[in-house]
Amino acid sequence: MTGGPVDLAAMLADLAELVCCESFSSDHEALARSAKTVAAVGRRSLGVEPETLVIDGVPHLRWVFGEPRVLLLGHHDTVWPTGTIHQIPWSVTDGVARGPGVFDMKAGLVQIFHALAALPSPEGVAVLVVGDEELGSPTSQPLIEDTARGLAATFVTEAGGENGALKVARKGISRYELVVHGRAAHAGLEPEKGVNAGVELAHQILAITEIASAVESSSEAGLLSVTPTLAAAGTSTNTIPAVARVAVDVRVPDVASQRRVDELMRALTPKIPGTRLEVVGGPNRPPFDQAASMDLFALAVRLADELGLPPLAGISVGGGSDGNFTASVGCPTLDGLGAVGGGAHAADEHVLVDRLPERVRLLTALIESVREGSR
């Protein structure tokens, strides 16, 4: 089994370069700069330039070596608005690396490059780094699915769970916006001529909160959530609202419940005469069932033991990733192979530096085992 020493200093230099090049998902200029930086870091480890695919202004990077059996999957966009680096600067103090995107998931990209560099050859591997994962991968989903389809394994280097737990299942995600159309009128002079979209929205929010209990059985309670989140109504304080809207976040354990929630969202009906409902959106990520990861997780546990690494745990999480897409096209998928740390999407985002080499060693062993068909 390949397993030489990992150059931690080189890893940290690469990580600093990626973190300091900000890549907010909604800033296409920043993403373009980030893609060039990721390409340069990857080129140093892999020796070749990636293919750059720009879809609707979003840059994605792909390396393909020979006939791939294994896909290494990650993203270079982050949730942090451009300029955050000045409030949360890159730093390494007392063995903890910090900075916007360091945990989710720029350390995971560095791990991909160094794991491949540790192999005698990258033959049989594809690497895909997308630029819109944090937005739900609207431009990269077909690219992800096409790249993964028919492969023996996808390894996703999203950040690990607590103490580096691997992510063996993820809930499916649906996203909706319910728009209520009413009729505006002066709230003081002639309110009777208006149809209040805000009041209708209140009725609909209450109806939406009942959808989860209508779908899940008592034995599944808590596995499914249908949550109204961001809401707005009206244009001024003295006008009957003509339009109101609410975003709805849905997390589901299986495809059947995702479909049923979609049916019930589209079956919502107005309570106030004269209002009209518009449902926008739908399923975003299919559920990632544990069956897709079971064999790969068992392999990871065995390899970690052989390498003398800490024992691995497997967890199911509510958050989605691009691993949902690879699992949905039938590609065995193991997620959460990235950094050990915490604080994803939070001001205390951080990576434990001394755990980086062990994660590279594990990923290298996984690639080697699957690529050679020995799993």
| Residue found by looking up tokens 């005469």 in the block | 273
Q: How many CA atoms lie within 13 A of 43 on its CB side?
A: 12
* Catalytic residue status for 133: yes
- The answer to whether the CB of 3 falls within 8 A of the CB of 303 is no
- What gap in Å lies between CA 302 and CA 15, rounded to an integer? 29
133, 134, 158, 200: which one is catalytic?
133
Spell out a b/e string for 277-303, using b for 16 or more CB atoms within 10 Å of the CB, else e.
Answer: beeeeebbbbbbbeebbeebbebbbeb
Residue 306: both structure tokens together:
């052989």
Task: Please list, in sequence order, all residues whose beta carbon lies within 8 angstroms of the beta carbon of residue 152, skipping any fewer than 6 positions away.
Answer: 69, 70, 331, 332, 370, 371, 373
- What gap in Å lies between CA 264 and CA 268, rounded to an integer? 7
| Residue found by looking up tokens 């916007």 in the block | 100
- The answer to whether the CB of 368 falls within 8 A of the CB of 2 is yes
14, 22, 77, 132: which one is catalytic?
77
Integer-rounded Cα radius of gyration of the chain: 23
Q: Would you name the residues annotated as active-site residues?
A: 77, 133
